[in-house]
Amino acid sequence: MIDRPAVQDRDHKFLTRAVEEAYKGVECGDGGPFGAVVVQNDEIIMSCHNMVLKNTDPTAHAEVTAVREVRTSVFHFPLIYLLASVPCCVICAGVQIPLVIPAIYDALII
């Protein structure tokens, strides 16, 4: 049985980190207000923000950047999950489908 409040607190902590990454990306001018974290065994193993402007790469969204960074160190993608500051766009969702990431969560920055 899963303790729902504990899971919600955990996910809130990770979503908060994704939102912080979004703000960090805007503050340093790397790209739009988007952040993502990759979690494995209840620990953040990667935290990224949008890098479209910095890398002059229209595919360098936060989720895509996080997956690119983590792919060299994690070979079992079903053991990780992704949390993003906003719902995933078509590009980000398309990148995640072949990786079979079991859970993707998002928060909406207001």
Helix 62-70 × helix 4-27 angle, to 10°: 100
**63 included as an active-site residue:** yes
Residue closest to 93 by CA, chosen among 42, 17, 36:
36
Q: Annotated catalytic residue: which of 20, 21, 27, 63?
A: 63
Q: Which residues are catalytic?
A: 63
